[in-house]
């Protein structure tokens, strides 16, 4: 390629070469080594999730509270930002590539290397883009740290450094899993965090409300208003309430309603989680299989599977990360360092146009309030409490309406359902199409992969162009259907509710990730026993 034809991104090559990175293995990595590296990376991630940022104030606001299960982060820890910067960098690169702003041929190794290196630069940039506003707006250092390091600004800088270091280590761990382990580090961390949340939400028997006068009937009080030591886990909670209520209370006193709906870990949430699990397992197993035969070895046959969920769960991860950034920006404009920004900032609007106060997003006063009650951000945030956020207020307005309808009208709840559902489904379709084009999963790339492995479709001439035309009948259609399906599943699970408040997207991702990991382990074992198959699998 002539110098004048090279992308402008090649100017970043000197910087890319000097950045810390995980080198690719020079030869084949054995199955046991891959399994070991995967486990080591997972243990390292859990270790970082339990190492909290030094000098952080206890009253910080978790702006990603609704997206914790998806972003694989732990509030206040070294992985506070989770995979957010990594996924955001990937979104930007995919959008620029899909719009042809970035002119790189990803089938060429050198262009693909520049693409991946540029994405790494973007990840570092996004680490600071997400860390700096949070430190200046929501993650305040403790007064004791100010005195130790010589001022508030130095304390803020120290917290930013810790956030940046932790996030970059997560990025390197993702590279370790991708190059030396099995699957994707991002997916592995999401599945680990959601699995932990689901287990705790199902079996936790430790009462959270002993000695506290909460008013939430679902979690802390009995039907007559007295405080009860109700276990929060689904199974312990159900057994406790069944033993506490008599038949009259169950039938006429709202007992069944309390057991089935009035909690994050109620039985409806558990049944919804189980339903999503079964649907995703079925969808993952649905596929179209193209028959293949080896061009030189008589009798050697196989099949190339085109899954219904062809782009896997990646579109939902990207869409959820995008919505998380929308919520972050809205919070920054309402009560963060951007609140004085003309036209968009809340403080500027208070002084200049009172009728449009907080139109980007309005939040309740007080620390820890991260759910918008009105404004643009309200219509695109998940239903964190499942049916309690939309269904129960319509069925019983007197009992559940005040919490939901105090700050918005019923029609706004309906509009929110339409906007959030449309965003999840439409966004997943768009990201699915971008994903297959940027990861060599399109018809042309798959045709070349089949050709290079020595296989061909029986009855057709051994020509990648012919294979590509046949694949074009399936892959684009399946990509759209699969993207819409994962978006609809995530949206539906959010509407029903999930155990442990793991979110529908988190459950969907975890089931798909674990099934793909199981298949990856099986594939690695087959390749270990039959090395000739490595070429077909692209190894």
pLDDT tens digit string along 79-135? 999 988 988 888 888 778 766 777 777 767 788 888 888 988 999 999 999 899 889
Q: Chain-wide mean pLDDT for the chain? A: 82
For residue 9, what pLDDT is reported?
A: 85
Query: What residues make up the domain containing 298?
Result: 30-204+267-324+417-534
Number of domains in the chain: 1
Q: Is residue 218 part of a domain?
A: no
For residue 216, what pLDDT is reported?
A: 38
Q: Is residue 467 part of a domain?
A: yes
Q: Give the integer Cα–Cα distance in Å for 48 and 308.
A: 36
Q: Is residue 217 part of a domain?
A: no
Residue 536 predicted with pLDDT over 60: no
Q: Give the integer Cα–Cα distance in Å for 112 and 99.
A: 17
Which of the residue ranges 24-28, 31-35, 454-458, 463-467 would you say has the lowest mean pLDDT?
A: 454-458
Q: Give the integer Cα–Cα distance in Å for 400 and 389.
A: 9
Q: Give the integer Cα–Cα distance in Å for 267 and 197.
A: 16
Q: Is residue 370 part of a domain?
A: no
Q: Give the integer Cα–Cα distance in Å for 518 and 149.
A: 48
Strands 455-456 and 372-374: unpaired
Q: For the residues 37-43, what does the mean pLDDT come to? A: 93
Q: Give the integer Cα–Cα distance in Å for 533 and 82.
A: 36
The two tokens of residue 111 are 């262009």
Residue 376 predicted with pLDDT over 50: yes
Q: For the residues 207-234, what does the mean pLDDT come to? A: 56
Q: Is residue 377 part of a domain?
A: no
Which of the residue ranges 343-357, 448-462, 499-513 would you say has the lowest mean pLDDT?
A: 343-357
Q: Is residue 157 part of a domain?
A: yes
More confident residue, 196 or 438: 196
For residue 94, what pLDDT is reported?
A: 76
The CATH number given to whatever domain includes residue 115 is 1.10.3370.10
Q: Is residue 103 part of a domain?
A: yes
Query: pTM, whole model, 2 decimals?
Result: 0.77
Q: Give the integer Cα–Cα distance in Å for 84 and 94.
A: 15
Residue 354 predicted with pLDDT over 50: no
Distances (CA, A) of 51 to 54, 57, 143, 202, 263: 9, 15, 20, 25, 30
Q: Is residue 337 part of a domain?
A: no
| Residues 287-339 pLDDT 10s | 888 888 766 666 567 788 888 888 888 888 888 888 888 888 888 888 777 78
For residue 379, what pLDDT is reported?
A: 93
Assign 3-class secondary structure to 345-393: CHHHHHHHCHHHCCCCCEECCCCCCCCEEECHHHHHCCCCCHHHHCHHH
Residue 434 predicted with pLDDT over 50: yes
Phi then psi dihedrals of residue 291, to 5 deg: -70, 140
| Orientation of helix 267-285 relative to helix 234-244, angle to 10° | 140
The closest alpha carbon to 410, from 418, 399, 401, belongs to 401
Q: Give the integer Cα–Cα distance in Å for 48 and 285.
A: 35
Q: Give the integer Cα–Cα distance in Å for 215 and 223.
A: 11
| Orientation of helix 31-49 relative to helix 504-529, angle to 10° | 150
| Residues 138-181 pLDDT 10s | 888 988 898 888 888 999 999 999 999 999 999 999 999 988 99
Q: Give the integer Cα–Cα distance in Å for 228 and 214.
A: 10
Q: How would you label 233-255 residue by residue, b for 16+ Cβ within 10 Å and e otherwise?
A: bbebbbebbeeebeeebbeebbb
Phi then psi dihedrals of residue 264, to 5 deg: -60, -35
Q: Give the integer Cα–Cα distance in Å for 518 and 182.
A: 10
Alpha-helical regions (H) of 204-253: 234-244, 247-251
Which of the residue ranges 169-178, 224-233, 402-411, 522-531 would you say has the lowest mean pLDDT?
A: 224-233
């Amino acid at each position: 390629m002539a110098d004048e034809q090279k992308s402008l991104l090649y100017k970043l090559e000197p910087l890319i070469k000097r950045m810390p990175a995980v080198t690719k293995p020079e030869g084949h990595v054995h199955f046991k080594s891959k399994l070991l590296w995967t486990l080591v990376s997972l243990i390292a991630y859990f270790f970082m999730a339990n190492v909290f940022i030094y000098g952080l104030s206890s009253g910080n606001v978790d702006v990603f509270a609704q997206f914790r299960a998806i972003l694989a982060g732990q509030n206040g820890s070294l992985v506070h930002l989770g995979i957010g910067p990594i996924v955001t960098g990937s979104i930007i690169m995919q959008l620029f590539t899909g719009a042809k702003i970035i002119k790189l041929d990803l089938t060429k190794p050198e262009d693909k290397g520049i693409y991946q290196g540029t994405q790494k630069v973007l990840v570092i940039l996004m680490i600071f883009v997400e860390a700096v506003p949070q430190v200046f707006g929501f993650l305040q250092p403790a007064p004791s740290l100010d005195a130790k390091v010589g001022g508030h600004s130095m304390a803020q800088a120290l917290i930013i450094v810790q956030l940046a270091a932790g996030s970059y280590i997560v990025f390197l761990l993702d590279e370790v899993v991708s190059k030396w382990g099995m699957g994707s580090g991002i997916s592995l961390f999401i599945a680990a965090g959601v699995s932990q949340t689901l287990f705790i939400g199902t079996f936790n028997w430790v009462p959270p409300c002993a000695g506290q006068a909460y008013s939430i009937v679902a979690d802390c009080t009995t039907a007559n208003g007295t405080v009860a030591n109700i276990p929060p886990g689904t199974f312990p909670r159900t057994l406790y309430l069944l033993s506490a209520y008599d038949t009259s209370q169950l039938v006429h006193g709202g007992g069944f309603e309390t057991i089935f709906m009035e909690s994050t870990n109620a039985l409806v949430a558990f049944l919804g989680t189980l339903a999503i699990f079964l649907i995703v397992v079925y969808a993952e197993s649905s596929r179209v299989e193209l028959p293949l035969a080896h061009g030189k070895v008589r009798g050697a046959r196989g099949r190339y599977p085109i899954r219904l969920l062809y782009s896997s769960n990646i579109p939902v991860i990207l869409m959820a990360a995008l919505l998380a950034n929308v919520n972050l920006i809205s919070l920054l404009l309402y009560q963060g360092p951007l609140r004085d920004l003309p036209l968009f900032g809340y403080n500027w609007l208070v002084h200049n146009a009172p009728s449009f106060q907080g139109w980007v997003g309005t939040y309740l006063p007080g620390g820890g309030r991260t759910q918008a009650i009105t404004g643009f951000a309200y219509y695109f945030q998940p239903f964190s409490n499942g049916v309690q956020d939309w269904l129960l207020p319509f069925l019983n307005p007197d009992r559940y309406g005040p919490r939901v309808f105090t700050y918005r009208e019923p029609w706004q709840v309906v509009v929110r359902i339409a906007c959030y559902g449309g965003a999840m489904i439409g966004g997943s379709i768009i990201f699915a199409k971008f994903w297959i084009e940027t990861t060599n999963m399109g018809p042309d790339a798959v045709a070349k992969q089949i050709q290079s492995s020595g296989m061909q479709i029986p009855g057709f001439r051994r020509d990648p162009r012919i294979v590509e035309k046949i694949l074009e009948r399936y892959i684009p259609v399946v990509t759209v259907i699969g993207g819409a399906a994962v978006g609809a599943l995530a949206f539906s699970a959010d509407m029903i509710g999930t155990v442990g408040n793991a979110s529908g997207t988190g459950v969907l991702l975890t089931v798909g990730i674990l099934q793909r990991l199981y298949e990856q382990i099986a594939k690695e074992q087959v390749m270990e026993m039959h090395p000739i198959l490595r070429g077909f699998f692209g190894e």
